[in-house]
Amino acid sequence: MLTRGYITCGVPYVLFGLAKGLLGDFTKGDPLPGRSGKNAEVPYNWTVHTPKSGVEIASFNCLECHAGRFNGELVVGLGEADLDFTDVPMGALVDNLPILDIFPGGVIGEINKFVERYKAVGPKIKMLTVGTNPADMLAVALAAHHNSDTLAWSDDPLLFPPEIMAPVDTPPWWRVHKKHGVFYNGMNRGDHRGR
Ligand code: HEC
């Protein structure tokens, strides 16, 4: 979960130092003890890996929302109750892209992918209040851009879900095994997920 690339969209690692300045709170965390190589150098909520494009990227991992501070100490699995989605910081990154023309093809390809994804979902996950989390609506926004048979990405939405925001709170992971269903809608009862 903290070393593999299950999110295939991210910031090319060669640019991560630059992106860090533009991603604000999302990149301010310390490295997580116990990780090795480049993962030992990036904040706990990012993972460095190489997707099919062959370009090494840093992408968010689950700890973006699922690691919080208690008495000043980072607790893996605790929901980050004060995460701020009121100003989606990827906007600053996207607006500052022209300088990136100097980078070679594969890197540009990864950046374009990141920007396309951001443009599609960024505005839909902006919250009114610090501490409310858009994860469920992020899933809906991403689903609207994937072909339901092939899962291929489409820049244009293929579905038009209602323009509503259902804010959620990130629960601690250690309660999951005591639950009959997870998430606000109590889903994953007895199917292949979350048993
Ligand atoms: C953008 C923030 C965010 C990210 C990233 C994220 N989650 Fe969550 N997660 C949430 C929120 C918010 C909920 C509660 C949603 C709800 O109740 O409907 C949740 C719920 C869950 C639950 C159910 C917990 C329960 O008690 O109902 C599990 C398990 C979980 N996440 C695992 C993961 C894993 C594994 C990853 C990485 C692959 C991940 N999450 C990435 C925000 C996030």
The residues with which 187 forms a beta bridge, in sequence order, are 182
Q: Structural domain of residue 164, as residue ranges? A: 11-178
Ligand 1 and 168: CB distance under 6 A: yes
Whether the predicted pLDDT of 154 surpasses 70: yes
Report whether residue 167 contacts ligand 1, using a CB cutoff of 6 Å. no
Compute the average pLDDT of residues 137-151: 94
Q: Which residue has the higher pLDDT, 149 or 96?
A: 149
In a domain, 78, yes or no: yes
Residue 144 forms part of a structural domain: yes
Q: Is the CB of residue 65 below 6 angstroms from any atom belonging to ligand 1?
A: yes
From the CA of 66, how far away is ligand 1's center (Å)? 7
Q: Percentage of the chain surpassing pLDDT 90?
A: 52
6, part of any domain: no
Q: Is residue 192 part of a domain?
A: no
Answer whether 66's CB lies under 8 Å from 80's CB: yes
- Decide: helix, strand or coil at residue 75: strand
Give, for ligand 1, the residue of 59, 65, 121 to mutate: max count of ligand atoms closer than 8 Å to Cβ.
Answer: 65
> Residue 5 falls within a domain, yes or no?
no
DSSP H helices in the chain: 16-22, 90-95, 105-121, 135-143
Domain annotation covers residue 103: yes
Burial of 55 (0-12, 13-18, 19+ CB in 10 A): buried
Number of domains in the chain: 1
Q: How far is the CA of 102 from the centre of ligand 1 (A)?
A: 37
What's residue 194's pLDDT? Answer: 55
Separation in Å, CA 115 to CA 22, 53, 90, 175, 190: 14, 16, 9, 35, 37
Output the six-digit token pair for 127: 């919250």
Q: Given this model, what pLDDT does residue 90 score? A: 62
In a domain, 135, yes or no: yes
Summarised one tens digit per residue, pLDDT across range 105-139 is: 688 888 888 888 888 888 889 899 999 999 999 99
Question: 46-89: per-residue pLDDT in tens?
Answer: 999 999 889 999 999 999 999 999 999 999 999 999 998 998 65
104 found inside a domain: yes
Ligand 1 centroid to residue 111 C-alpha, Å: 26
